[in-house]
Amino acid sequence: MSQSTDPFAPFQVADDEFKSLVFGGIAVEHYLPAVQEGLQRTRARVEAIKSNSAAPDFQNTIVALERANEDLELVAGVYFLLFGAHGTPELHALSDQISPLLAELESDLSLDPVLFVRIEAVHSQRAGLGLDPESLRLLEKTWLGFTRNGALLPEEKKARLRAIDQELSTISPQFSKNVLKATNAWELHLTDESDLAGLPESALAAMAHEASKRGKEGWVATLHAPSMIPFMTYSARRPLREQMWRAYNSRALGGELDNRPLIRSIVALRQERAKLLGYPTHSHYVLEERMARNPAEVLGFLDRMLAASHQAAERDVAQVREFALKQDDLQELRPWDFAYYSEQLKKHLFDFDEEVLRAYFPLERVLEGMFQVAARLYQLDFEERKEISTWHEDVRVFKVSRAGALVGLFYVDLFPRDTKQGGAWMTGLREQGLWRGAPTRPHAGIVCNFTPSSSERPSLLRLDEVRTLFHEFGHALHGLLSECTYQSMAGTSVYWDFVELPSQIMENWTTEHAALALFAGHYLTGEPVPAELTEKVRALRTFQAGYTCLRQLNLGLLDMAWHGKEQNLHEDLEAFELRELERTRVLAPVPGTATSTAFSHIFAGGYSSGYYSYKWAEVLDADAFEAFLEEGLFNPATAERFRANILSRGNSAHPMDLYVAFRGRQPDPEALLRRDGLIS
């Protein structure tokens, strides 16, 4: 096949030390032919495994299957990276073709009786194969993957399972597209300066920039986080806050982008799939492969957190309500009031202004300081490499080294655009491990939505954005520092209630004096952040911790309500949420709004029956960070134990075994409550 007709030609890797992907030659029309070619290559390799006349063994069956879809994974990985980070309408439209093709392959493999016979043969003799622990775990995971996805079902049930997976493969991307379209469709266009009351200069500059981008006079606020959060926090115009809050909390609730029918379909199909496979609910199916092993354990955990936080959350809300009444004679505190009056109360109690602190967090300096934190902890060096191809002009790439040896590539994509989904996430362009027959180092990236620089000032981060940056960097370190043999076991390929430990623990360094000294400096003068300001930040760590905790529990319980029991799918969605979230409600509900219709984590991401994992991992990270507090924030021995036992090991052992190897014991469940000030 000539280069010009090879569907994989646009997806070339550079002839450099990294084998980095060349994005410049990839166009929308290249994806589908390359996916189809990748499918053919994968199927051919699988057929070779099945027809191998040699007796099944670990190498000719398990490792061969591990490597069968390398080409396809390359193309699909690029497609889904851009689907979230730079997804044009034309690119999004392809998901209706690409996702079903990938789901069909997955079904064909997991339901193939000949392939499973070979896997079963290797698995049955595992005790005598002399495999190292990671290889043994790969064998076990491969066998479980087949048995958990229908390998033992009769043919008629296999057929239904295929149909379910096909349908789910198109519905979830559509849910995501609807949320993004609904987010992009709304704007708040202001031309009267009186409507800007309370907004800080940074927000005004960003809104003026957004208006200019749209060819409009005045100021434009949007539902993207860098615009919405400052507006809801600082705008003194209550009717405008209400408009924005209602718009955000009614995304994809009705109209042509209505996600309610999709939710009903997703929940029904997941429930049916679980029962086909012999599980009472979708949650039972998912949690079998989690640290929290079943719905009862998850609900018990959430209930314990709820008991510790609910009263504190009610006190938090009562304090804000009383303050709003005194300050503005506000008779009823509504959801669109909370962030605003909470910020005003913070200023009153702590003499603290988030905007003053923000001046000490210019993005470039924070990014450099973040690299310095990683250098002190893990001896990492970061060198920007501008010659490496990226998917957008905003994306930057860094070569990561340790003691002169290549660790990997780190891609950074930090600013919002209409083609990017909201939120922040880590993405793996290439996993560490065997690739094309040789060990390879990973290519990891983070995607965020921070306020970009303007002609007047650089990008200045809020403290919560600094935490977000460090959080996603923690995920990236998990991928970059991996030292596994097999890609499917490497980096972040761990239980979902363990994967947030490396990310959440990094947030702790954002409020410690020794770390702040590395990156907090005024954007005009370079002056270090004053000690009195950092003391206020530390004092604020427990400010309204009860309310913050309750919000996370609210989402975790909503997830379990959808997936942990059978649903009456004809029930009105708002009524469902009203009933299921009664225990976590501390402000009056608002008709015409809902959480579920934009809850992409559980309906379009991988967090169904897993949203609890954020709080679960917070327990792990609070307990783990206590080791750094006890032994030294940058103690090399502590950091090395964390790197060697957590960051480098991927899924090569059970996560509790890895944690105990680091900490010397199981996690203390009260560590999080202590850190949040919910217990003494």
Q: Summarize pLDDT for 583-611 with one digit per residue, the tens.
A: 999 999 999 999 999 999 999 988 999 99
pLDDT at 319: 98
190-195-201 Cα angle (round to 5): 90
Q: What is the model's pTM?
A: 0.89
1 pLDDT band (50/70/90 cuts)? Answer: very low
Identify whether the C-beta of residue 386 lies closer than 8 Å to the C-beta of residue 486.
no
CB proximity list for 173: less than 8 A, separation 6 or greater: 83, 92, 95, 96, 99, 604
Measuring CA to CA, which residue among 290, 350, 340, 296 is closest to residue 320?
Answer: 340
Structure tokens at 329: 């004679």
Q: 666-675: buried (b, 16+ CB within 10 Å) or exposed (e) per residue?
A: ebeeebbbeb
In Å, what is the CA distance from 673 to each residue of 34, 312, 439, 512?
A: 50, 11, 42, 19
Query: Rounded mean pLDDT of 429-433?
Result: 95
Identified catalytic residue from 37, 431, 465, 472: 472
Kind of pairing, strands 443-447 and 425-430? antiparallel
Amino acid letter for position 411:
Y
Measuring CA to CA, which residue among 423, 418, 375, 425 is closest to residue 398?
Answer: 375
In Å, what is the CA distance from 174 to each residue of 35, 164, 346, 399, 562?
A: 20, 16, 40, 36, 19
Residue range 105-123, pLDDT digits in tens: 999 999 999 999 999 999 9
pLDDT at 152: 94
Residue range 156-200, pLDDT digits in tens: 999 999 999 999 999 999 999 999 999 999 999 999 999 999 999
Would you say the CATH fold of 363-544+614-675 matches that of 3-110+112-152? Answer: yes
Residue range 331-343, pLDDT digits in tens: 999 999 999 999 9
Q: What is residue 563's DSSP assignment?
A: H
In Å, what is the CA distance from 57 to each residue of 64, 115, 130?
A: 10, 12, 12
* Dist. CA 382–CA 406, nearest whole Å: 10
What HEC string does 398-417 produce?
A: EEEEECCEEEEEEEEECCCC
Query: Rounded mean pLDDT of 505-511?
Result: 96
DSSP H helices, 564-603, are 573-580, 600-603
Count Cα neighbours of 606 within 13 Å in the Cβ-side half-sphere. 9
pLDDT at 456: 80
4 pLDDT band (50/70/90 cuts)? Answer: low
- Residue 296 main-chain phi, psi, to 5 deg: -60, -40
In Å, what is the CA distance from 632 to each residue of 190, 376, 635, 675?
A: 50, 12, 5, 17
Mean pLDDT, rounded, of the chain: 95
3 pLDDT band (50/70/90 cuts)? Answer: very low
Each domain of the chain, given as residue ranges in start order, spans 3-110+112-152, 186-251, 363-544+614-675
Q: What is residue 510's DSSP assignment?
A: G
* Dist. CA 252–CA 254, nearest whole Å: 6
Residue range 217-251, pLDDT digits in tens: 999 999 999 899 999 999 999 999 999 999 999 99
92 pLDDT band (50/70/90 cuts)? Answer: very high
Residue range 544-575, pLDDT digits in tens: 999 999 999 999 999 999 999 887 788 899 99
454 pLDDT band (50/70/90 cuts)? Answer: confident
Q: Reply yes or no on whether 120 is catalytic.
A: no
Q: Is the pLDDT of residue 2 over 70?
A: no
Q: For the chain, count helices (H), then strands (E).
A: 28, 9
Strand ordering across the sheet containing 425-430: 380-384, 396-402, 405-413, 443-447, 425-430
Match 């602190």 to its residue by tokens. 357
State which fold the 363-544+614-675 domain adopts: Neurolysin; domain 3 (1.10.1370)
* Dist. CA 268–CA 576, nearest whole Å: 15
* Dist. CA 71–CA 588, nearest whole Å: 52
State which fold the 3-110+112-152 domain adopts: Neurolysin; domain 3 (1.10.1370)
Q: Is the pLDDT of residue 73 over 90?
A: yes
